[in-house]
Amino acid sequence: MCEYAEKHGNRPAAQEYDMDESNIRRWRKKKAEMQKQPKRRQVGPVRGAQSPELEEEVVSWVLAGCVVSTLSIITKVCNLRGLFLHVICVSKC
């Protein structure tokens, strides 16, 4: 991406990669610093599920053919954990 910006400019690069022009400028300034850093590789998830039993129950609920949306999954998890949904919605919205 930095190479594209160097060749075509910050604004065209921002449009090409669908991001803010300020990010392109910041990354171009830090290009040398970023290239010195070792490349990180992540294989698989960084950590496991916090509650494997809860995850299995939600997965089986979804695979059972229930209508699924983000809100319905959050509601199901809250119901299984015995939490109140409005607490989560207030903190997320």
The residue ranking higher by pLDDT, 33 or 92, is 33
Q: Is the pLDDT of residue 69 over 70?
A: yes
User: What's residue 65's pLDDT?
Assistant: 75
Q: How far is CA 58 from the centre of its chain?
A: 20
Q: Of 21, 32, 66, whose CA–CA distance to 79 is shortest?
A: 66
Q: Per mean pLDDT, which range of 14-18, 70-74, 85-89 is the poorest?
A: 85-89
Q: What is the DSSP string of 25-72?
A: HHHHHTHHHHHHSPPP---S-SS--S-HHHHHHHHHHHHTT----HHH
Kindly report, residue by residue over 3-58, the tens digit of the pLDDT.
Answer: 888 888 889 888 888 888 888 888 888 888 877 877 776 555 556 667 778 788 87
Burial label for 47, CB within 10 Å (0-12, 13-18, 19+), is exposed
